[in-house]
């Protein structure tokens, strides 16, 4: 069992302090910088909430698309990009739908962490 407070709780507390105590005193570039830091903290908090599931899903999907085990997701994404450039996902290909579904799923997963407001009102 983890110690309390959790990293997620600490991020929320720090964000609240910045928002309520520091941000109102700032202007210009300093205010923009603190807003950027607060946004980064929100992203980190959402990633903590999601855990490793999105990364594991992406790794499994890449392994299925590439037809081989994936140990390095970044390398697997480079391989998929090379295959896309080579025409694997062209509209007439049999792999097109699978590649597009994968890209949509990964994009949605990343948006859930980085900017979930974009997905509000979207169908699942």
Q: Which of 9, 36, 41, 4 is nearest to 23 (CA)?
A: 36
Whether residue 76 sits in one domain with residue 61: yes
Whether residue 71 sits in one domain with residue 17: no
Q: What is the pLDDT of residues 12-30, one digit of tens each?
A: 999 999 999 999 999 999 9
Average pLDDT over residues 84-109: 94
Residue span of the structural domain in which 78 resides: 53-119
Q: d(Cα 44, Cα 50) in Å, to the nearest integer?
A: 10
Whether residue 28 sits in one domain with residue 66: no
Residue whose entry in the numeric block shows the structure tokens 């202007």? 27
Whether residue 14 sits in one domain with residue 67: no
Number of domains in the chain: 2
Whether residue 115 sits in one domain with residue 57: yes
Query: Is 1 a domain residue?
Result: no
Average pLDDT over residues 112-117: 91
Q: What is the pLDDT of residues 52-85, one digit of tens each?
A: 999 999 999 999 999 999 999 999 999 999 999 9
Output the pTM of the full model.
0.77
The full length of the chain comes to 124
Residue 2 has pLDDT above 70, yes or no: no
Q: What is the pLDDT of residues 26-52, one digit of tens each?
A: 999 999 999 999 999 999 999 999 999
pLDDT score, position 87: 95
Residue 87: CA atoms inside 13 Å, Cβ hemisphere, count? 2
pLDDT score, position 120: 86
């Amino acid at each position: 069992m983890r110690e309390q407070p959790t990293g997620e709780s600490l991020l929320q507390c720090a964000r609240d302090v910045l928002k309520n105590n520091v941000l109102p005193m700032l202007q210009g570039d300093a205010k923009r910088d603190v807003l950027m830091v607060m946004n980064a903290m929100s992203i980190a908090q959402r990633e903590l909430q999601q855990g490793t599931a999105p990364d594991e899903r992406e790794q499994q999907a890449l392994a299925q698309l590439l037809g081989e085990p994936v140990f390095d997701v970044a390398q697997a994404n480079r391989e998929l990009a090379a295959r896309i450039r080579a025409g694997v996902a062209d509209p007439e290909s049999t792999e097109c739908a699978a590649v597009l579904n994968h890209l949509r799923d990964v994009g949605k997963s990343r948006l859930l962490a980085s900017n979930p407001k974009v997905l509000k009102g979207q169908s699942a």
